[in-house]
Structures are given as C-alpha cells and as structure tokens.
Structure 1
Amino acid sequence: MKDPFAHTFSIVARDSITGEMAVGVQSHWFSVGALVPWGKSGVGVVATQSFVNPAYGPNGLALMEKGKSAVNALKELISKDEGREYRQVAFLDANGKASAFTGANCVESASHYVGENFSVQANMMLNDDVIPAMKKAFITNPKLPLAERVVMALQAAQDAGGDIRGKQSAALIVVGPNKVENSWEDKKIDLRVDDSDNPLAELERLLKVARAYEYMNRGDLAMEEENVEKALEEYGNAEKMFPKNLEMRYWKAVALANSGRIKEAIPVFKSIFEEDENWRTMTLRLPASGLLNVSKTDLKLIVE
C-alpha cells in the first residue's frame, strides 16, 4: 500500500443537546491531525485511518452535505475503493447517525463500535479492551461538554492499552450544528499535538487554554458592546483558569481602567509590568487605538 499510515484509535461523536460534532484521535504517528479528522458545521464529521485514504474526508462530507446519511455516504465510498480492506473509516452526520467500517486487512487488534450519536474505532491496538473502554467512557459522561467528553474517551483508550507502538500525536476538532457562511467560522475547536511524549496530556492542556480564551473572546465582545461589568466577569473567569497568564490579567486591568476603577487597575498593571516591561510600552500605545480610555493623568498613574 502506498497510502499514508495512521494506525490509531479515534472517536466521532455528537452532543445531542448542542448538536456539536467532534473527532478525537491519538496515534503513534507524526501529525495524525493532518490526516484523520475532518468536519464541517451543519454537515458531519469523518475519521479516516489505518492505511489512510484522505479522500474519505472531503468526499464524505460532500455526500453528507448533499443529504446522504452517514450510512449511505460511507457505503458509497467504500464500494468504490479497491483498497477498502485496508481502511478503517467512521462517518457521523448532523442527525447523529454514525457508520463505521473496518477492513479485513487492518492490523489487529482492530474493531469498531457504533452507538447513538457516536462511533469508536481502533486498529493496531495492544489488546481488545480499547474499544469497550472508549465506549464506556463516552456513554457514562453525558454531562461533560463534547470536547472534554471526547478527550476522556481517548484517555480511556490509552489507559486500556492503546496503540501497541505507543503514542506520539493527537488531535481534536469540534464543529457546530449549523452551516456557517464563512469557512474560518467552521471549526469551534481545532487542536493538534503533532509530536509529544504524552500527546493526550498536551491535548487536554490545550483544550483548557482554548476554554480560557473563549472567556477572553467573550470579554472582548463585551468591551466592544461597552458592557464593562460583563467584560470583567469574562476576563476574571479566564484569569481563574490561568492566573499566571499575563495576557488574561492585563485585559482585566484594562477593563477596570475603562470602567473608571483606576485604583483597582493600577496594582494589576504594576504586577504585570514587574514581570515584563513590554506591557508598559503596550499600555502607552492603547489610547491611540481607542482600547484604553483614560485621562492623561490616569495614564501617567498607570505607567509611572
């Protein structure tokens, strides 16, 4: 086979409440996120692995966008693939219907399980415990946000034995329930760990950072709407997750200053400047951009 390797375990899943869809994957192969996970908001998600035929990603999504179910879309593409017995593929559509295929020539331990709103699949595993572990982890954690739930399923697979070769890379994508007009709005979460001794731990860390920056983004939006109290709340939530992150502390201080709470803002600014003088320079530049709306007197108090 000339097709690229991506022997691995993965999950495609949908949140029955929010309608979000996700693909999570880990492998002992470099940059698994470049090959295995595919998704489109309002359409579906795809995981294509083993001896990978990447065309299953865009072609599968195109068929589902035209109205074909995950079952029929996968069946159509499998029937046309002469290398099908080396493939492992899973489709999930926006209705939560999943379908999976494991070719006879996939390296054992190889299997899949299709459930309601999800499918888990794995090949070249250490043992046959991986699929049951992923299934159990996903089913028994329905209250978690989808991304965290998917990462938990991946961790359960690793804990059960995982890839017989070990671990190297991981990826996670989440798309929304509705089609979007702009392609850059398509993925709500798009995280990749291309090379790591512990890719799932790094993926989990990145997901936490992503969640913190979701608070930051909501804070920025609140500032645009001149809702300073809401901005402070959102920036504060981000800061709680990463209290040592200067960026998160800084914009909270800016929000405090913009709301007239200069006395509260100054010590926050000072603590940041002590760690990195560049933020002082940054502060002097903000008024011209309209991002810091304070008097010259107050600006001097902040930066002196």
Structure 2
Amino acid sequence: MKPILFLIGIFTTFQIMSQSQKPNDPLAHTYSIVARDAKTGEMAVAVQSHWFSVGTAVSWGEAGVGVVATQSFTNKSFGLRGLALLKQGKSPQEAMDILLSDDEGRDFRQVAILDKQGRVATHTGQSCIDFAGHANGDNFSVQANMMLNDKVVPAMEKTWNDNSGMPLAERMVAVLQAAENAGGDIRGKQSAALLVYAAKASSEPWNDKVLDLRVDDSENPIMEIDRLLKVFRAYEHMNQGDLYVERNEMESAMNEYNAAMKMFPENLEMQYWTAITLANGSQVEGASEMLQTIYEADGNWRELTKRLPKVGLLNVSEESLKELTK
C-alpha cells in the first residue's frame, strides 16, 4: 500500500471510531446545581441553558431518594436509572460508576447525583466543551459546560456557600443568577427549570414534589423563574387562607389573603377570593366595594359570583347577593 493511501486509511478509520464514540443524544450544554437543604432535608435541582425546554432533559428527582442533573450530551436514562440505583442503597458515587461503566459516550457526559443524605458524585467528561467543570461538597454540586469563561463554576459555588440562610428554592435561583452574571452559557440563555422534592416520601406521592417550575423559551429565563417563584409563594398564602376558611378561622384567613395581595396587588384572582371570604364573614359592604373594582376590570367575575351560592362557596342572603353582584 502506498504511504499516502495508508495514512488516508488510518485517518478515515479514526474518523469512524470518533463518530461512533460520540453520542447521538440531545444536547443540553448548560449550567446546573443539585443541592439539599441541611435544615429541612428538601432536595432540589435547578438548570439554565441556551436550549429549548432544558427542564425536560436535565433535571430529575424523587422525594426521599435524591436528585440528578444529566447534561452536555444528555443521557436522559441517567435520571431514572440513577434514582433507581439510589433506592437500591447505592451511594451517589457507586451509582455514577455503574451508569458510566457501559456508556460509550461517557467522555461527553456531565452528570451530578445527590442523595437524601446530602452525599454527591459529579462527572465532567474530558470531551465536554470548554469552559467545563464542577465543584461540590456536602449537600451540593454545581456543574457547567460550554461556558463563556472559567469564572462560572466558582461564582456558583461561592453563591451557594454565601446564602445558607435563604430558603432552598430561592437559594437555587440565586446560584443560577450568579452563573449568568459571571458569563453563563457562551451562546446566551433560553430556558430554565427548578424542582424541589420533600426530604421523605409520604403515602401521598402526588404531594411529594414541593415545587416544579419550568420556563421553556424566554429571553430571560432566570428572571422568569424568579418571578414564578414569587407567584408560587403568594399562592402558598392563598392556599393557607383557604385552609383557614375551611376551619372557619376567618381572621387568620384574611391575614394570609392580605399577605398574598401585598405580593401581587394587581392579581384579580387573589383580590376576588379575598372579597368572597369577606362576604362569607358577613362583611358584605367591604366585599362589595372590592368586587366592584374587580368587575370594572373584568365583568366575568360578576357572573362567577352569581354561580358560587349553588356550590356552597358563597353563603349570603338573597339581598346580600344582589349587593355583591350589582
């Protein structure tokens, strides 16, 4: 064989081998954090990327088990398989070793696993696109690839360590924002997700996912996640107010509703149910005043008020109902 043909043959073989080793999995070049609140035991995973709907691929978790972030060339199976291994009693590192052992694309993977004890294992493959790296410790791991610079991971780690007094969800968002402020994804930003799971699994698994927020496509996904988190907190007050109403603890209910309205004073939904609670508490005049303002903004709320007595959500006299729906 002529030397040049021999060299071409070697180069072609190398290309074929490289292509066969490079996974065909979806891309999710990104930065993320997996973490556990040392006080509550809640576990969370948060992520941002210049990739559509990153939360459907990167973030996984289960109450009383752990959380997983799988990114770069994303092997989605690592989410459910990693959690299953934790449930079998494997440590995060043991689970990681098993997942990577037969994965031909391991060099292109970036994965973080955290269990209910706060133990972590993190892998950044040697073929992840620069800047790529991770940092971890008790109760957290931050990881990033395809970043604009090498300042992103240190900024995430510092923000996590500096904000131990914050609620877990808000602390996760702060870490994402720190990554963005440090340079973030070299391509920019598009989507984000935030999941929080209970420390222990309950007999009501549908309630074990404490928080599930996703922004699939946005010019500023972290800002939007932060806004949604504030809305979530406001509705926590609304839900607590509803519980007080069920117990006929009207003063406590009003305190919760007022707290919600202070957070989002323009939200008609919050104003409306606060007014209905006032009416059910025999404060028809005050309720009517609030309702008139709401009706001016959207007359459909008046029609809804007329429908409430039938299902027992508004318990007032006929005369009072006329006052409330005028």
Distance in 2 (alpha carbons) for counterparts of 1:223 and 1:63 = 44
Which ranges of structure 1 fall in alignment gaps of 5 or more residues? none
TM-score, normalization by structure 2:
0.91
Superposed counterparts of 1:1-304, under 5 Å: 1-304=23-326
Distance in 1 (alpha carbons) for counterparts of 2:32 and 2:169 = 13
TM-score, normalization by structure 1:
0.98
Distance in 2 (alpha carbons) for counterparts of 1:57 and 1:182 = 22
Distance in 1 (alpha carbons) for counterparts of 2:179 and 2:113 = 20
Determine what percentage of the aligned residue pairs are the same residue: 58
What one-letter code is carried by the residue in structure 2 that aligns with 1:47? A
Distance in 1 (alpha carbons) for counterparts of 2:208 and 2:61 = 8
Distance in 2 (alpha carbons) for counterparts of 1:81 and 1:228 = 59
What one-letter code is carried by the residue in structure 1 that aligns with 2:184? G
SS in 2 for 1:23: strand
Distance in 1 (alpha carbons) for counterparts of 2:92 and 2:314 = 50
Distance in 2 (alpha carbons) for counterparts of 1:160 and 1:240 = 33
Distance in 1 (alpha carbons) for counterparts of 2:325 and 2:109 = 61
Distance in 1 (alpha carbons) for counterparts of 2:116 and 2:169 = 16
SS in 2 for 1:139: helix
**Distance apart, 1:209 and its partner CA:** 0.8
Distance in 2 (alpha carbons) for counterparts of 1:120 and 1:81 = 22
Alpha-carbon RMSD across the aligned residues, in angstroms, is 1.0
Distance in 2 (alpha carbons) for counterparts of 1:34 and 1:176 = 20
SS in 2 for 1:293: coil
**Distance apart, 1:66 and its partner CA:** 2.1
**Highest Rg: 1 or 2?**
2
What one-letter code is carried by the residue in structure 1 that aligns with 2:134? H
Q: Judge which range, 147-156 or 223-232, deviates more.
A: 223-232
What one-letter code is carried by the residue in structure 2 that aligns with 1:96? G
**Distance apart, 1:269 and its partner CA:** 1.0
Which ranges of structure 2 fall in alignment gaps of 5 or more residues? 1-22
Distance in 1 (alpha carbons) for counterparts of 2:205 and 2:40 = 20
What one-letter code is carried by the residue in structure 1 that aligns with 2:135? Y
**Distance apart, 1:137 and its partner CA:** 0.6
**Distance apart, 1:247 and its partner CA:** 0.3
Distance in 1 (alpha carbons) for counterparts of 2:156 and 2:116 = 21
Distance in 1 (alpha carbons) for counterparts of 2:268 and 2:291 = 10
Q: Judge which range, 259-268 or 116-125, deviates more.
A: 259-268
Residue-pair matches, total = 304
